[in-house]
Structure 1
């Protein structure tokens, strides 16, 4: 029997050496999870189990090779589609119609724009339509590399201060080319329906009447409604004694100087004709349109204080055509396409899966796992929800193998192997002794 016990020990030690060797070999494998050999002793007993206190063990058996799903170190890579899971969960893959699960977030795109692994498996998630993620059934994530359509400017918000102590201009007749005919000016880039940029200029002239100014408006130096004319639109802007905008003096619906006063006391430029200068020097419509709702100019935050005239904040919602310039992923797995015009668009969201018993997953190679009866069915979700961990973009999860511990285990398992071999050698010596006595 000692031979069998020794052989079982050799087999178990060999299995442990194989597992440790595999861990060491994958110390640099992204998303790899170390394995651990678990053993159980064996006993032989009679049917009625009467041997009880006098039964000796019959050796050892390999009970399981379990996986250690502890968190690996997250390392930055700088690659846009590299993703690391910080916490529980797995990426969901579709490989030849079969679902697989991995912690290896080394992803790239194929020739058709689909996000895939190095082996060609498709990464699963939810694609977006018009910037809205379509949750529901899992699908192959795809990068939409088409240009971002331009958007005509429909709203401009301005926060400015006009110097209350400024002197009246020395030139009484406004002339955009003469800085002595106005007190303050600034410009804002606006866009038409084809993404062409146009410069909206606003000039402010202090009037002799207290707390009143005249605002002159041009687009590309021309009259917004008539590009053949250089005559600007002229509107009166007044302030209260405390320096805030006097909205009470503005009548909703009134059209003064070409700008309509809205109900919220903002101005609306409704008759802008986008134009272009020809080679002959004349100006004419360029074939594009302004926003169908007009251009809303919000001056509600304008003030008249005894401080330098200045623009402290300014926004507008239009933009030119954008070409794809990069990708980014947030902690919830939402994919954003970044464009050359400074805009970004949601193009999808990465899905994740988790299991009631991750130890029941079956290794499928390539740091992938497959669902089994023991693992239970996958719970599908998105990063940072429920039991799912968060995503760290431009990073990868390193192997969780502790090389120091594995090398120590290697020494221990080598000693165990030698000890079990010694058991067999000793039994052989005893057998030889018995034979020689006969």
Structure 2
């Protein structure tokens, strides 16, 4: 009896050492979760299924090896597609029709533009929609590496200060080629529907009819695909080609009039949008439709200080190619383009389970779903019980090496003690055999 009981102890200690050695071996494995051997005692029962006060246990058995899903430390790598999870949840990967779950977030882009792990499994997520949302169903995350389409400029905003002490030009009428026929000028780049860039120049002329009125003239030059710059098209390329703005005694705009003398906006205290129809900029640019653009001088002032261009902004841009990605803590993957633009391409999906220990490990710090784990709860990072995504970091193994070394010593002592039981039982048997 003692032999068999001690043998179960040896087997248990050996299993414990096996679990501990696997933990130690994976101390540096990304996303690895340490395991724990759980044991139960073996007890003899009567034919009626009950034990007696004189019953003696018959050893130990291995009940289960469970993985501990506590958080591992995050190690900064600087690679934007190295994704560490801060909190609960698992990344979802596709292996054919099988969904694989992992905490190992080392990803890259394959030759087809999909985000994959180091074994080629595709990361799952929600695809970005044109309206700013995301799909409800998960898909392979695909990064479209083609060019980001150009966007024609629809609005340019100028914030300049016109010196209140300026005098009207001595040369009339206005001639953009003669600097003495205007007080100041400023320029802005804008784009047509094909992404070709053009330069818009605004000329400011102090009116002689009143100290607080200015006439604005605007012109544009075109650049064709060969890089040849044509002469400034002022004013034939622009209709209308002028406007008038009037300031109050505090230097703030109170009235804007177009070239026909009509209010540029219904509310004179809200002088937004002077409509400009740029129709003949560059016939070689590929743009076939007129560019309708508005100018916004809301930020323009007239103070007794030198002329200055404080801000010029516009909403157009040229086409661009994908040059990089950024991942937010909510899992949103943004594409960065060579034209300085960025847009959401997808969102990483996370899954959680009621019983994560019910997942079945398959290696590579990965698991598959089982009935014991329950149904996957899929959602966006940072929602419900799901954690956040840390871009540029990887979750390290959660193995605590010191703890494992202590457990190894304990398992070794346990093995030695059970071996000693067998040795003692053998000596007792030899003693019995020597009785005559």
Question: TM-score by structure 2 length?
Answer: 0.90
The Cα of 1:86 is off from its aligned counterpart by 0.8
CA gap of 1:69–1:286, structure 2 versus 1, over 3 A, is closer
Moved more, 108-117 or 259-268: 259-268
Contact 2:161 / 2:309 at 8 angstroms: preserved in 1?
yes
Tell me how far apart the structure 2 counterparts of residues 189 and 86 of structure 1 sit (CA, whole Å): 43
Tell me how far apart the structure 2 counterparts of residues 30 and 7 of structure 1 sit (CA, whole Å): 36
The Cα of 1:51 is off from its aligned counterpart by 4.8
- 2:233 corresponds, among 216, 219, 223, to 223
Tell me how far apart the structure 2 counterparts of residues 75 and 215 of structure 1 sit (CA, whole Å): 58
- Structure 1 counterpart of 2:61: 61
2:242 equivalent to 1:242: no
Q: Which runs of 5+ in 1 are unaligned?
A: 276-283
The Cα of 1:195 is off from its aligned counterpart by 0.8
- Structure 1 counterpart of 2:76: 76
Moved more, 175-184 or 59-68: 175-184
Contact 2:195 / 2:318 at 8 angstroms: preserved in 1?
yes
The Cα of 1:177 is off from its aligned counterpart by 4.7
The Cα of 1:149 is off from its aligned counterpart by 1.2
Tell me how far apart the structure 1 counterparts of residues 45 and 103 of structure 2 sit (CA, whole Å): 45
Contact 2:244 / 2:259 at 8 angstroms: preserved in 1?
no
Give secondary structure in 2 for the equivalent of 1:246: strand
Give secondary structure in 1 for the equivalent of 2:344: strand
The Cα of 1:49 is off from its aligned counterpart by 6.3
- Structure 2 counterpart of 1:297: 295
2:352 equivalent to 1:342: no
The Cα of 1:179 is off from its aligned counterpart by 4.3
The Cα of 1:167 is off from its aligned counterpart by 4.0
Query: 1:198-251, CA deviations, whole angstroms, 9 ceiling, x for partnerless residues?
Result: 111112122332111121211126236635x9x99332211112211113x54x
- 1:360 corresponds, among 358, 361, 364, to 358
- Structure 1 counterpart of 2:228: none
- Structure 2 counterpart of 1:203: 203
Give secondary structure in 2 for the equivalent of 1:136: strand
- Structure 2 counterpart of 1:323: 321
2:40 equivalent to 1:37: no
Contact 1:224 / 1:272 at 8 angstroms: preserved in 2?
no
- Cα RMSD for the two superposed structures: 2.4
Moved more, 397-406 or 216-225: 216-225
CA gap of 1:242–1:84, structure 2 versus 1, over 3 A, is same
Question: TM-score by structure 1 length?
Answer: 0.90
- 2:281 corresponds, among 257, 265, 274, to 274
Tell me how far apart the structure 2 counterparts of residues 271 and 363 of structure 1 sit (CA, whole Å): 64
The Cα of 1:46 is off from its aligned counterpart by 1.6
Query: 1:32-51, CA deviations, whole angstroms, 9 ceiling, x for partnerless residues?
Result: 11111111122113234665
Number of aligned residue pairs:
422
Tell me how far apart the structure 2 counterparts of residues 225 and 311 of structure 1 sit (CA, whole Å): 23
- Structure 2 counterpart of 1:142: 142
Contact 1:38 / 1:62 at 8 angstroms: preserved in 2?
yes
Q: Which runs of 5+ in 2 are unaligned?
A: 222-230
Moved more, 129-138 or 425-434: 129-138
Query: 1:139-191, CA deviations, whole angstroms, 9 ceiling, x for partnerless residues?
Result: 11111011011111111122222222234446555444554443332211001
- Structure 1 counterpart of 2:312: 314
Query: 1:91-145, CA deviations, whole angstroms, 9 ceiling, x for partnerless residues?
Result: 1111021111111111122221111121121211122344744422221111101
CA gap of 1:244–1:421, structure 2 versus 1, over 3 A, is same
CA gap of 1:170–1:435, structure 2 versus 1, over 3 A, is farther
Give secondary structure in 2 for the equivalent of 1:54: coil
Moved more, 358-367 or 170-179: 170-179
Tell me how far apart the structure 1 counterparts of residues 369 and 104 of structure 2 sit (CA, whole Å): 17
Contact 1:274 / 1:289 at 8 angstroms: preserved in 2?
no
Tell me how far apart the structure 1 counterparts of residues 400 and 94 of structure 2 sit (CA, whole Å): 31
Tell me how far apart the structure 1 counterparts of residues 174 and 236 of structure 2 sit (CA, whole Å): 19
- Structure 2 counterpart of 1:110: 110
2:78 equivalent to 1:89: no
- Structure 2 counterpart of 1:261: 264
